[in-house]
Every structure is written in structure tokens, then in C-alpha cells.
Amino acid sequence: MTDGPHPPRPTHEVVPPEYDWDGYGFDTRQVHAGEVEDPAYGARTAPVYLSAAFRFDSFEESTRRFGGQDQGQIYSRNLNPTNGVAERRVASLENGAGAIAVASGQAAISAALLAIVGHGERFVSTASIYSGTRILFERSFGRFGVGVDYVWDPDDEGEWERAIGPDTKAIFTETIPNPKNDVVDIPAVARIAARHGIPLIVDNTIGTPALIRPLDHGAHVVVHSGTKFLTGHGAAISGVIVDGGTFDWASAGRRYPGITERPAPGTPSVLELSGRHAYEAFVRAGIVNDLGPALSPVHAFLLQQGVETLSLRVERHVDNSLAIARWLAEHPLIESVDYAGLPGHPQHAVAERLLGGRSGSVFAATVTGGAEAAAVLIDSLRVFSRMTNIGDVRSMVLHPATTTHLSFAPELRERLGITDGLVRLSVGIETVDDLIADLDAGLAAVGRHLGR
């Protein structure tokens, strides 16, 4: 060992880290997409920017930012650097042009639709959407003067034609509705939207981009309750709106004034200013900024942390669900299982074509004995948590008829297939044998209660 200087090393190039993740695989993008360099400290994990507002470098910069020519930070109500990481990451996974993170899934649906549907106008939705979304449409949207028309059979093109009128501004649907798991044929609905020149908005909360990417099938906008599978751990509420950047707003046969019309003489429209990002820009500046459903940067941080493991978790969620659905379908106390991955389900062929038969992990089973038997089953479970929410790593169970659909008229519940014996499962990532054993013990308690 010597105290002299080290011999010179061969010179070589030190390459910078990658920040442009286009073209990389899904699993790589869910870990890295959306990151930006931290020149101050080299932080490897995106920092949490707990700042309500941001300083301008100059008078001119503040003017440009308020005018929309500069897309930098103004106020955390509409744009925050931490939120931006989550936005870019989810947009990348959905193959979208951009995204806006908001305070909840309900806020995402509201902002996505209110950006293009106004007072005295209507939109069309499939009927089997989540109960909370239906309540939003009929109660709050109704007070805003926004109307909704339902299509009960998405495979019936005649029903679509009867529902879509001259004042229809959009179509809304879900990839995998909750709780009946009646998978929607997104390409078919997209063809209907294209024929009428209206945008298609798809809720992909249960599908997730790990299973299906609606924008690849002709949808124009995707929404998520980020609370669910994207975050995955049940610790933070969030919502995301993803703009596909593909709808031709200028050539649409219906008016979308917030996007296409100039707010004042000599002032460019959002479309002229933002091009294919026009919808994203208007949702952010014209809806989210005005109504204020801002996402906390802490929750945005938790969202992007959760997304890092999305595909790994979804794989286990679905594997467990397939095994449980098959087991339940053979149990003598189960009348039916609503899982499109099983042969015999009305949407099995669609699930095979779009999802490879892996239709998520939120589905229903109907227990013999009605509501009383459902209560015994739910109260006898020890691993499944009795709670609302879905998409958590923990398995959960709920009785829709007396919870999520309690406010619905009996006739509507019957038409939606929400029977007294129907139990909703959100299957987590626990050891599948433990979950089956828990269900087996619960159904054994039902059998004793029924004297079987």
C-alpha cells in the first residue's frame, strides 16, 4: 500500500439517467415514468412539495403562466410538482397524452364530464355503472341541469341509437362494472361514439391499465378512482383523468365551447393554444381550477408510490379471484357467481377477447337463503374485512342491497340484478388458500343456519 496518488483511470463517458420513458415496457414505466431530475439534492424518490403557491421569476413569467402560454406552476389547486409525477406516470401507463390528478374518483368523473356537458345538455351511460356514480349523475348532475340517458344492453345498437340525441355530448361507461363484473365491449362502444362524433369517457378503475387500456380501443378519455388499485393500500383518496389527445374537437358536429371557442376577441381558444392537449388543459384550468377538487401532494405521493407495483399486485388479485370464483361456482350453497372469466357468464366472450378471461378482482356471488344467509356469511368471515372500498391489497366483502344500493328503489335493484342474496367480493393479495378457507367456514355457518 502506498500513499502516492492513484494512477489515472481511462477516460469514459458518464451517461445521464433516463427521463424519457416512451418505448419502455409497462413494468419499467410504472416505476419510472413521470420523474424529473432533482438538481438540488439528487433525490431518487419524487419529493413532496407542500407549497400552496409558487414564486415567479419575473413579471413576464407570471403573465405568461396566467395566459396559458407557459405551463409552469401557479397554485397547487391546479398544478403541483408532486402531483405532476403521478399524472405523467398514469398517463404513460394508459398511453394517454396527459392527465390531471384530483381529490377523488368522484371528482375525476365530475370534472371529466362537466368539461364538455353543460346545463340543458345530456350524455349517455351504460346502466350497470357503480351505484355511487349513478347517484352522482341523477342527484348532483340533475341539480346542475345535466341529464343522463341509460343504455341497459350495450350490445344492442338500436338502444344506443334511441338514446343518443342531438343534445348528447358524450358517452360514459366502465370497463368492468361493480359488482356484477359485466365487462363492457369498449371497442364496440367506441365505434358508436365515433359514428356520432362524440367523445367516449371510460372509467377504468377496476380494469386498470395493467389489464386493459381503453384509449387503445378507441376511447378518448379515461378516469380512475386512484384510491383503488392504482394506490392499492387503502391509505389515500385520489382520482385521475387521462386525456387520450385523439378526439377532433374542431370537427365535431356538436359544440364544445369551453374548448373550441375564444373567451374574448383576440384571445386564442384552448384548442388553438394547446392542440391535442386541449381537453386536458381545459379540465385543469376551466373545471378543476374553478371547482377546486385539488389533490393533496401527500396523497399524490402515495398514489405514485402505489403505481410502482400495480402490475405485480393486479396479477395476484386476478389469480386469487379466478381461483375463488371457480371454487364458489362449485359450492352447493352458492346459486351463481358473477365473474366474466367463468364460462357461462353473459360477457365471457368479451372478457376472453379483451382481457384474456382475467376480468379483475371485484365480483359478486349469490348465496342461497337471501339477505339472512348473506348476513350470516359476512358476519362469519375473519380474513375478509367487512367494509366498503375495493382494490385494496386486503380482501373485502359487502352486501350491496343494504349498503351501496340501499337508496335504490326495489324495482331498480331488481333490474340491476342486486338481489338479497348477492354478496360483493373485492379479492386481495393474501394467500388464496386462506381466503378460500375463510369463505368455506362462512358458508359452513350458512349451512348450519339453514339446517343443511
Q: What is the 3-state secondary structure (H, E, C) of the chain?
A: CCCCCCCCCCCCCCCCCCCCCCCCCHHHHHHHCCCCCCCCCCCCCCCCCCCCECCCCCHHHHHHHHHCCCCCCCECCCCCHHHHHHHHHHHHHCCCCEEEEECCHHHHHHHHHHCCCCCCCEEEEECCCCHHHHHHHHHHHHHCCCEEEEECCCCCHHHHHHHCCCCEEEEEEECCCCCCCCCCCHHHHHHHHHHHCCCEEEECCCCHHHHCCHHHHCCCEEEEECCCCCCCCCCCCCEEEEECCCCCCCCCCCCCHHHHCCCCCCCCCHHHHHHHHHHHHHHHHHHHHHHCCCCCHHHHHHHHHHHCCHHHHHHHHHHHHHHHHHHHHCCCCEEEEECCCCCCCCCHHHHHHHHCCCCCCEEEEEECCHHHHHHHHHHCCCCCEECCCCCCCCCEEECHHHCCCCCCCHHHHHHHCCCCCEEEEECCCCCHHHHHHHHHHHHHHHHHHHCC
Ranges of each domain in the chain = 26-36+51-307, 311-450
- pLDDT value, residue 8: 76
| Number of alpha carbons in the 13 Å side-chain half-sphere of residue 70 | 14
Compute the average pLDDT of residues 144-166.
Answer: 96
Q: Looking at the structure, give the CATH architecture of the domain made up of residues 311-450.
A: Alpha-Beta Complex (3.90)
Question: In whole angstroms, how far apart are CA 199 and each of 151, 393, 441?
Answer: 16, 33, 48
CA 395 to chain centroid, in Å, comes to 19
Compute the average pLDDT of residues 388-409.
Answer: 96
Cα 144 to Cα 22: distance, rounded to the nearest angstrom = 40
Q: What percent of the chain has pLDDT over 70?
A: 99
Cα 236 to Cα 431: distance, rounded to the nearest angstrom = 24
Compute the average pLDDT of residues 93-121.
Answer: 98
| Burial class of residue 373 (count of CB atoms within 10 Å of its CB; 0-12, 13-18, 19+) | buried
- pLDDT greater than 90 at residue 78: no
Class of domain 26-36+51-307: alpha beta
How sure is the predictor about 123, in pLDDT bands with cuts at 50, 70 and 90? very high
Cβ atoms of 95 and 220 closer than 8 Å: no
218-277 pLDDT, tens digit per residue, is: 999 999 999 999 999 999 999 999 999 999 999 998 999 999 999 888 889 999 999 999
pTM of the model: 0.95
- pLDDT value, residue 356: 96
- pLDDT greater than 60 at residue 395: yes
CA 301 to chain centroid, in Å, comes to 17
- pLDDT greater than 90 at residue 69: no
Cα 306 to Cα 243: distance, rounded to the nearest angstrom = 21
Cα angle 379, 383, 385 (rounded to 5 degrees) comes to 60
| Burial class of residue 316 (count of CB atoms within 10 Å of its CB; 0-12, 13-18, 19+) | middle
Cα 354 to Cα 211: distance, rounded to the nearest angstrom = 9
1-46 pLDDT, tens digit per residue, is: 556 667 777 789 989 889 999 999 999 999 999 999 888 888 889 9
C-alpha cell belonging to residue 286: 376551466
C-alpha cell belonging to residue 157: 345498437
Residue with cell 380482501: 395
327-352 pLDDT, tens digit per residue, is: 999 999 999 999 999 999 999 999 99
- pLDDT value, residue 1: 53
